[in-house]
């Protein structure tokens, strides 16, 4: 019979790592209880310290020592996050930095496939595609935006420790692009500040956005910066949303464009319909839709942030049929569903692209989309579980899941980006 004595924070235990879980942690069992373990790799045996044991069914732990290493274990790409440091002093943001890139992608593909199967009942093998240049750079030098925090007592600057709010001073930012590293004040005390955002736009000078103790807004966050996607220029607020990986805007632009082209070749796209770009940001994916079907495209991009909507209006100004609307997506869709039937019917021929936040579109928005019944939905997701849950909703509303692609746009972390195409049956 298994020992059912509860684990306590601080306990040190040996564990056989058997699987990967969503969130960048591995899975083990101890006396019948699931233990989620940080800084390990499936197939390893480790000595770990329990950090949380609030429920009898599972606990959380962090690796202290690797007793039997995976062949995919590598020296951590960020010394300040390495196993040799005390877990409370390991920098966060590179939780897969001890794993070979190829294995990282395999683990991410596994999480996505298992999420689709568990939450949506869909069996789908997915390959996580590398972004251009990442293999050659060992997955380093890709972050064009980094947030650092300031210790209120010492003024020291650094990221948070993994899974905590402890600020860890660091000497390097290996995941960041050169422009970010050039301006990072890693060895300077920055008293009276709360945080520092470092951004390096692809077609503009790097800059810092500073939040002082007494401020709500970040200084410089509304400045316009220029980003290049292929030969297309986008204006974006410095503090607004833009993809973090230096290659991500072009990767996703191309993926959405190609998905629309494939739907168009199948006779499913109507350029003159009431096409939508939801959670549209600065208009990147609406522009991809236009490149796929031409300047006659009619598309409304919907975004809750007024600054981003202004940027989208500017970036899509060459498209006569483009409209940028400031609204919460759920409220915008609710208004459409309350409109006369003749208005709603225009959306049955439409293609909808959506790129929601990490929490996903959610059941409410997915339900609204099902009721609106567009011909096609192209869903860009940065969380596999959120995508899987929304997939289950859409499948139940009469949609069929088509191609699914995944992209490794966050090397050395557990995050990935995915694109799923849904068509109304």
Q: Which positions are annotated as active-site residues? A: 382
Give the CA dihedral 411, 308, 296, 232, nearest 10 degrees: -50
State how far the alpha carbon of 370 is from the alpha carbons of 325, 336, 363, 373, in Å: 21, 12, 10, 5
For residue 232, list its beta bridge partners: 229
- Take residue 250 and report the two structure tokens written for it: 């072009």
Tell me the residue length of the chain. 425
Q: Pick from 301, 249, 256, 291: which is nearest to 131 by CA?
A: 249
Q: Which helix H or strand E contains 157, and what residues bound it?
A: strand 157-158
- Ligand-binding site membership of 355 (annotated): yes
- Ligand-binding site membership of 12 (annotated): no
- Ligand-binding site membership of 58 (annotated): no
CB distance 276 to 300 below 8 Å = yes
For tokens 């350029």, name the residue.
271
Give the C-alpha separation, 389 to 298, whole Å.
30
Give the C-alpha separation, 376 to 379, whole Å.
10
Strand order in the sheet with 19-21: 12-16, 45-52, 58-68, 33-38, 25-30, 19-21
SS3 5: coil
Give the C-alpha separation, 137 to 144, whole Å.
15
**DSSP letters of 235-297?**
EEETTS---SBTTHHHHHHHHHHHHHHHHHHTT---TTS-EEEET-TTSHHHHHHHHHH-TT-
Q: Pick from 416, 422, 355, 412: which is nearest to 97 by CA?
A: 412
- Which residues, other chains included, contact 159 with Cβ-Cβ below 8 Å and sequence gap of 6+? 91, 92, 93, 147, 148, 149, 167, 168, 170
Give the C-alpha separation, 228 to 231, whole Å.
6
CB distance 6 to 53 below 8 Å = yes
- Ligand-binding site membership of 171 (annotated): no
Q: What residues form the annotated binding site for S-adenosyl-L-methionine?
A: 243, 279, 303, 355
Q: What residues form the annotated binding site?
A: 243, 279, 303, 355
């Amino acid at each position: 019979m298994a020992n059912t004595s509860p684990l306590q924070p601080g306990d040190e235990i040996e564990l056989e790592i058997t699987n990967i879980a969503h969130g960048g942690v591995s899975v083990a069992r101890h006396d019948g209880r699931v233990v989620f373990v940080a800084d390990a790799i499936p197939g390893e045996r480790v000595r770990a310290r329990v950090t949380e044991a609030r429920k009898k069914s599972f606990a959380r732990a962090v690796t202290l020592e690797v007793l039997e290493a995976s062949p995919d274990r590598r020296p951590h790409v960020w010394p300040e996050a390495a196993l040799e440091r005390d877990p409370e002093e390991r920098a966060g943001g590179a939780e897969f930095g001890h794993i070979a890139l190829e294995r990282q992608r395999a683990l991410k593909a596994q999480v996505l496939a298992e999420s689709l199967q568990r939450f949506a009942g869909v069996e789908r093998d997915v390959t996580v595609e590398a972004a251009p240049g990442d293999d050659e750079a060992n997955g380093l030098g890709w972050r064009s935006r980094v947030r650092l925090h300031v210790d209120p007592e010492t003024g020291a600057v650094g990221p948070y420790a993994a899974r905590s709010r402890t600020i860890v001073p660091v000497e390097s930012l290996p995941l960041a692009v050169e422009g970010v590293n050039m301006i990072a004040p890693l060895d300077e005390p920055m008293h009276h500040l709360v945080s520092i955002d470092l951004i390096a736009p692809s077609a503009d000078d790097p800059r810092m956005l500073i939040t002082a103790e007494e401020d709500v807004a970040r200084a410089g966050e509304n400045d316009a910066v220029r980003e290049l996607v292929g030969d297309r220029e986008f204006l974006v607020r410095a503090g607004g949303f833009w993809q973090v990986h230096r290659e991500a805007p072009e990767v996703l632009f191309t993926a959405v464009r190609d998905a629309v082209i494939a739907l168009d070749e199948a006779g499913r796209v109507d350029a003159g319909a009431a096409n939508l770009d939801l959670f549209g940001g600065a208009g990147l994916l609406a522009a991809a839709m236009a490149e796929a079907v031409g300047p006659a495209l009619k598309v409304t991009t919907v975004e809750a942030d007024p600054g981003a909507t202004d940027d989208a209006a500017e970036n899509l100004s060459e498209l006569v049929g483009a409209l940028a609307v400031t609204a919460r997506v759920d409220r915008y869709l609710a208004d459409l569903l309350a409109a006369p039937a003749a208005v709603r019917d225009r959306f049955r021929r439409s293609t909808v692209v959506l790129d929601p936040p990490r929490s996903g579109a959610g059941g409410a928005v997915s339900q609204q989309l099902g009721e609106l019944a567009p011909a096609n939905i192209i869903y860009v997701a940065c969380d596999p579980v959120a995508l899987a849950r929304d997939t289950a909703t859409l499948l139940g509303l009469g949609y069929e899941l088509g191609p699914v692609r995944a992209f490794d746009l966050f090397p050395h972390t557990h995050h990935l980006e995915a694109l799923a195409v849904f068509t109304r049956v």
